[in-house]
Amino acid sequence: MSARARIPDRGRAADAVLDELAAMKQPDADWRGGRVFSLVYHAGEAHEQLLQRAYALYASANLLNPMAFQSLRRMEAEITQMVAGLFHGPDSAVGAVTSGGTESILCAIATYREHARAKRPWIRRPQIVAPRTIHPAFDKAAHWFGVELKKVDVDDEQRARPDAIARAVGRRTIALAASAPQYPHGTIDPIEELGEVATRHGLPLHVDACVGGFMLPWLERLGRPVPRWDFRVPAVTSISADLHKYGYAGKGASTLTWRDMSWMRHQFFVATDFPGGIYVSPTMIGTRPGGPLAAAWAALQAQGEDGYLALTRAAIEAAERIRAGITAIPGLQLLGRPDTTIVAWGTAPGGPDLYAIADRLEARGWSVDRTQHPAGVHLTVTANHLAIADDYVRDVREAADEVRADPSLARAPTAAMYGMMAKLPVRGLVKRGVRQLFEKMYAPGVVVPDATAPADDAVGRMLDKHGAKLDAVLDQVGKLRTRLKRR
């Protein structure tokens, strides 16, 4: 255990503090160089400096009280109006800026629950139906707010199946949810068809466009075939969309837009008996930092439509270049549909071990997002990746050749861990192992988790302890399925 950090006895010089902060960043992922595909959306150094300056101007401002900070409320209103227009919302559209996609989704689920309590109070445990590719933020919201999230299977292209969604609707269903696109594979759910299901059952439809909200409109304007997914679909009642993704705003800024106030009024929380005065909040958090909001407003103003079109044009070119390169590598294949600037790829049957390839890519300095069901690698491709698209494909090819030449690489700790975790039928074991890992990471006195010891973590120990037994169980399950099929 590391020594506990403490506040210094005397304040340090500003330059010394800033120098230490700069030094602390050295081991972080190289997002400026395009080595990160999902955590940062970089539109160039000049744009980055603009965001920093806008953020700094409002670093101490707080939208908790919009009367005290009227400029922030004006910016939020203008952002909401710009977003509503981008999503073909009616003049009645309203919304709010949140701290990120998860908060937008939390607000949406809480609002649908409150709306159901007001309109259908006999429902004791409300239910929302969504495809299994829906973002985990919906699971979190359901868990926290006492809502059942009923997930249904998807088709071979990882798209929601309207027929399956319709069959899952029951007397307790209060809303449907879908993605445009879903995160793992970049596939756009059939929102128009799902809207027809929602209309037949008198239900609202939430579209999670946290990734695609500031990408799909520009793809459409560039002449790409984009199915209707926004407020042009009459059943769509709300849309979550992240400004800090393809809006190229600073972290963290997202939006939740409603078709009209009849829905959003259920989002407001009001407390009138507090001795400190009346308290009202339109989002999950109380203090609402002004910095991210100002940076988001600045990003929209600085880029303009022409800037976003140029960024999207570069992003889709990079994505297509990577897709073409991946399909040319023996043993690899694309996953999902090539609808967007998200690229997902995996290995074909009999191909080299996917997670071992991911390990070799990380050894080359790439930040790799591994997915499961099916096993894959996810790339959120931005304009910043056009310069390194060919480098990435080259490294994937070399990594695949390495694994093909040395299959023992599949038994390396990280590859083995991800491979086993993806196969485990008892998901409770996985959840417990990951929970224990985070308990260790957030334990008292821990300053920096040791990422250099792959086997020395709760998940690794759990797999070491139970791996052989689980392999035996999986083997028996496979044999039983084979016998059942023969019968």
* pLDDT tens-digit series, residues 122-173: 999 999 999 999 999 999 999 999 999 999 999 988 999 999 999 999 999 9
Q: Measured between alpha carbons, how far is 460 from 144 in angstroms, rounded to an integer? A: 29
Is 178 in contact with 189 (CB distance < 8 Å)? Answer: yes
Please report the domains of the chain, with CATH numbers, ordered by start residue: 55-300 (3.40.640.10), 304-413 (3.90.1150.10), 424-486 (no CATH)
Q: Is the pLDDT of residue 187 over 60?
A: yes
pLDDT digits (tens, 9 = 90+) for 426-473: 456 556 666 666 556 556 555 555 444 444 444 455 444 544 445 555
The two three-digit tokens of residue 196, written as one number = 């027809």
**Mean residue pLDDT across the chain:** 86
pLDDT digits (tens, 9 = 90+) for 294-337: 999 999 999 999 999 999 999 999 999 999 999 999 999 999 88
pLDDT digits (tens, 9 = 90+) for 72-106: 999 999 999 999 999 999 999 999 999 999 999 99
pLDDT tier for residue 58 given thresholds of 50, 70 and 90: very high
What is the reported pLDDT for 34?
75
pLDDT digits (tens, 9 = 90+) for 405-417: 988 877 765 554 4
As a whole number of Å, the end-to-end CA separation of the chain is 57
* Percentage of residues in the chain having pLDDT higher than 90: 62
